[in-house]
Amino acid sequence: MLQTFFQEVDNYYDEMVEMRRHLHQHPELSFQEYKTASFIQDFYHKLDIPFQPNVGGNGVVARLNGAQSGKTIALRADFDALPIEDAKQVPYRSTNSGVMHACAHDGHTATLLTVAKILHKYRDQLPGNITFIHQHAEEVAPGGAQPIISDGVLKGVDYVYGTHLWTGTPYGIVQTAPGNFMAAADKFTITIKGSGGHGGMPHQTIDPIVIGSQLVTNLQQIVSRKLDPLATAVLSIGKFHAGNAYNVIPDIAVIEGTVRTFDQELQQLIMAEMEKIIKGTCHSYQAEFIFDYQKGYRPVVNHKEHAQLIIESAQQVDEVEKAEIVAPSMTGEDFAYYLEERPGAFFFTGAQIKDQFVPHHHPMFDFDERAMKIAAKTLISAVMKANQI
């Protein structure tokens, strides 16, 4: 039966690519994915698969009942895009200025819709039930996962699985990990309030740029000197803005960055140490400050048995050259919230275009579309294997 499913994935590959490219041409930002949600709803309507619109916001959830007894399994794909200008010169380039699918969510959606179509076609032979979760707003915290869960989407679900088409991993490789897989992703903003003045008379100012520069250096000592060397954490500055003229010392400087952790106690320690360093540094220069720390998504923690199930499921797919356990990634994902509610696992499907690697969230982002076949086959294999637990 599994090989029949796999053959159907091959048969529908061209259609899957067509869907992905249509979605790539028509991206929508988080919490604004109205046309994308309609596209998904129309797909299920044509298949006569019952679905619920507006779940947790713009989410769409479809449910398929197999004729054979078995588990109820949820599969999730996200469908929001990013505020990035698509710089690729390809026929399927984004037609929405300043908006782009730069994280493969278009591919996730096309993959899950194809899986739904195939499993529906063979529903008389399908064990158990499938809940297809099409989630909005993964890119922007607080994200779409929590409101979707709050709407009861996991009621009666036994296990939950999801994948991310991953350009950091070569095509043909599937990766996951038992336990910690992706990190908690927090954001912070530090506003330094100094006293500006003439660049030639710095002694008459409280220079927020100098203070900010000192902070950038001091904050790095938290990970290098305050944490156990065996602890896993990242503190990165991504934005430093101050001033508008080369010869004027500004009043204000704003620093933004991210903290990534797997452990809540470690997260709290870093927050406390940041507060002390920011307060001490600013006060030593007689500057005021505002420290805004926003906790983002929690860590993605796979259930051990289901991470192994994903490895074994991927090994059934001919196109998979290697299915491997890898070290955790410091990237974040709100799939974490599904795994806090139900057993399951999240995994990376290698999608790197050979000799053309471009990272996620980049204006030139694209992926090897053949990876969608591997993702679809691995998810179907996981559904069948999970019914044997």
Query: What span, in angstroms and rounded, lies between the C-alpha atoms of 147 and 138?
Result: 11
Catalytic residue of the set 78, 86, 106, 138: 138
Q: Which of 33, 80, 158, 186 is catalytic?
A: 80
* 3-state SS assignment for residue 290: strand
Is 15 a catalytic site residue? no
139 appears as a binding residue in the annotation: yes
Please check if 360 is assigned to a binding site.
no
**Is 283 labeled as ligand-binding?**
no
Closest of 103, 98, 95 to residue 77, by C-alpha:
103
Q: Which two tokens stand for residue 54?
A: 């507006």
Q: Answer yes or no: are the C-beta atoms of 237 and 254 closer than 8 Å.
A: no
- Would you call the peptide bond into 328 cis, given omega within 30 degrees of 0 as the criterion? no
DSSP conformation letters of 210-262: HHHHHHHHHHHHIIIIIS-TTS-EEEEEEEEEE-SSTTEE-SEEEEEEEEEES
Give, in order, the Cα–Cα distances in Å from 271 to each of 285, 293, 323, 374. 22, 8, 37, 40
- Residue 124 CB-density burial (10 A; 0-12 exposed, 13-18 middle, 19+ buried): exposed
105 annotated ligand-binding residue: yes
φ and ψ at 148, to 5 degrees? Answer: -65, -45
CA distances from 207 to 189, 211, 212, 242 (A): 18, 6, 9, 10
**341 annotated ligand binder:** no
Q: Which of 79, 70, 143 is nearest to 107 (CA)?
A: 79
273 CA to centre of own chain: 28
State the pairing for strand pair 68-78/59-65. unpaired
Task: Work out whether the CA dihedral 10, 16, 18, 21 comes out positive or negative.
Answer: negative
What distance in Å separates the CA atoms of residue 358 and residue 367, rounded to the nearest whole number?
8
Active site residue 14: no
Between strands 59-65 and 127-135, the pairing is antiparallel
Which residues belong to the annotated binding site?
103, 105, 139, 164, 361
Annotated catalytic sites, by residue? 80, 138
Which residues belong to the annotated binding site for Mn(2+)?
103, 105, 139, 164, 361
